[in-house]
Amino acid sequence: MKFLKYILFLSFFSFVFFSCEEENPEVDPKPVFYDLESELPFYFGKNYEIPEDNPMTVQGVELGRMLFYEKKLSGNNTQACASCHQQKNAFSDSNRFSEGIDGIEGKRNSMSIANLLWNQKFFWDGRANSLEEQALIPIQDPIEMHQSLDEVVAKLQSSDIYPSKFKAAFESEIITAENIAKAIAQFERTLISSNSKYDLYLKGEYDLTPQEQLGLDLFFTHPVPQAGLRGGNCGDCHTNVLTSGDLNEFDGFHNNGLDEDNSMQDKGLCNVTEKDFDQAKFKAPTLRNIALTAPYMHDGRFNSLEEVLDHYDLHIKKSTTLDPLIREASNELTLPEDPIKLFLTNEEKAAIKAFLHLLTDDQFINDPRFSDPFK
């Protein structure tokens, strides 16, 4: 009798216990939760969102990595996402403009892919609202990978490896463009760069040299000459420790004084919003790994960090939509019609450059989790 009671107790207990779980007996294993959050440094903050309809899974990330390096995504099987987003360049490339499969050059410089978790708008002109939306655009672009989504899906569906990989990640062997985008987005969300010397400094594990300290201070300071405060004015747009743009709507898009009103070649954000006040505004990208991502600007017009610093210091062009924080930045008191100059010293520019080099993350560009899985 006592034994019976014990059994009764146990069976009741197990009934109650298992009723908590979802009923799903004897089907293929479910995708396993990928714990991205535990990899993120606390100082990056929590202003990010992983879409509810695309939760991170181990299998999804694995598939996404394969697709990122998969040349079948292009019309003639010669290019993958990774062709223009190479790990050694922090997932950008070293060309001013990249060539698509038909040998045609694009009009904008390939962007680095790092810490995109803290972004809501993608591309230089912000035309994609999510990584999922972004991922499918270059595939279809006639001057990039030049292939219809139907063709991509058909190619992957007929391959030996992909149907089972999609089944593992999304519980269906039927491949869809939506799931291709989701997998690539999942992989891209894992591309976290947080092991630079600057990160070590933030964690208290690295002491800045005096030059690096000066560079950091200048980077994050808007100059206020009447208060004796010298600044390089970088952090106004490349904000906080992520050194990336404001992530609220289009607040992270700026006209940074590259051209005058009548010489603007590329309307940038204005193409997307169709508002005149967005003329020639472009996304302020993260400066993480900036020393590895030359050339610079949306059109890759500058080849070196020195040229970039000289631009902001000496060559800002006035225009209607020029960012107010750039227009109103100088280390000397100026008169209204004066040209816009920061008046940085050579020593200060060298210090800012030294700080920018602290943002290089060797672990990121060598991380085997991010490399070509087919090699």
Partner 1 sequence: MNKYISGLIIFSVLLFSSCEKDNNEPGETGSLKLIISNLNGGVPLELNDKEYTNEMGNKYTVAEFKFYLSNLKLRNKSNGKFYIEPESYHLVRRLPDTHLFELTIENVDIGEFDELEFAVGVDNSKNYSLDNVGDLDPTNNMAWDWNSGYKFLLLEGQFLPKNEEQKGLVFHIGSDANYRKILLPSTSENIIIKESQATTINLEVEVSEIFKDPTTIDFKENNVVMFDAISNKVADNYAKNMFSLSGISK
Instruction: Provide the 3-class DSSP secondary structure of residue 308.
Output: helix
* Choice from 263, 318, 345, 366 touching partner 1 (CB under 8 A): 318
Q: Does 262 bind partner 1 (CB under 8 A)?
A: no
Catalytic residue among 62, 132, 144, 348: 144
Select from 97, 166, 198, 250 the one that contacts partner 1 (CB under 8 A): 250
Q: Is 59 helix (H, G, I), strand (E, B) or coil?
A: helix
Residue (143 or 325) nearer to partner 1, CB: 325
Q: Is 261 in the site for partner 1 (CB under 8 A)?
A: no
- The encoded tokens of residue 363 equal 């672990």
Determine, following the binding rule CB under 8 A, whether residue 9 of this chain makes contact with partner 1.
Answer: yes
Burial of 367 (0-12, 13-18, 19+ CB in 10 A): middle
Total residues at interface with partner 1 (CB under 8 A): 47
Question: What sign has the CA pseudo-torsion 98, 101, 107, 111?
Answer: negative
Give the footprint of partner 1 on residues 216-235 (CB under 8 A). Answer: 220-222, 224, 226-227, 229, 235
Q: CB count, 10 Å around CB of 74?
A: 22
Angle, vertex CA 113, rays to CA 88 and CA 238, nearest 5: 110
Q: Per CB under 8 A, which of residues 15..54 are in contact with partner 1?
A: 16-17, 19-20, 42-47
* 257/237 Cα distance (integer angstroms): 13
Backbone phi and psi for residue 255, each to the nearest 5 degrees, phi listed first: -90, 115
Q: Which of 78, 263, 271, 320 binds partner 1 (CB under 8 A)?
A: 320
Residue type at 256?
A: N
Q: Applying CB under 8 A, which of residues 135, 191, 242, 365 lies at the interface with partner 1? A: 242
Helix 131-140 vs helix 177-189: angle between axes, to the nearest 10 degrees?
A: 120
Q: Which stretch binds partner 1 (CB under 8 A): 5-13, 50-58, 75-83, 137-145?
A: 5-13
4 binding partner 1? (CB under 8 A): no
Nearest distance in Å: CB 235, partner 1: 7
Number of C-beta neighbours around residue 106 at 10 A = 19
Decide if residue 203 touches partner 1 (CB under 8 A). no
Does 327 contact partner 1 by CB under 8 A? yes
Q: Would you say 147 or 330 has its CB closer to partner 1?
A: 330
Residues 6 or more apart from 269 whose CB is under 8 A from it?
125, 126, 250, 253, 278, 281, 282
Site map (CB under 8 A) of partner 1, residues 112-131, x = contact: ------x-------------
Q: How far apart are CA 119 and CA 136, in angstroms?
A: 17
**Is residue 212 annotated as a catalytic residue, yes or no?**
no
Determine phi and psi for 182, rounding to 5 degrees: -60, -45
**Which are the catalytic amino acids?**
144
> Which residues lie near partner 1 (CB under 8 A)?
5, 9, 12-13, 16-17, 19-20, 42-47, 118, 220-222, 224, 226-227, 229, 235, 239-242, 246-252, 275, 277, 318, 320, 322-328, 336-337
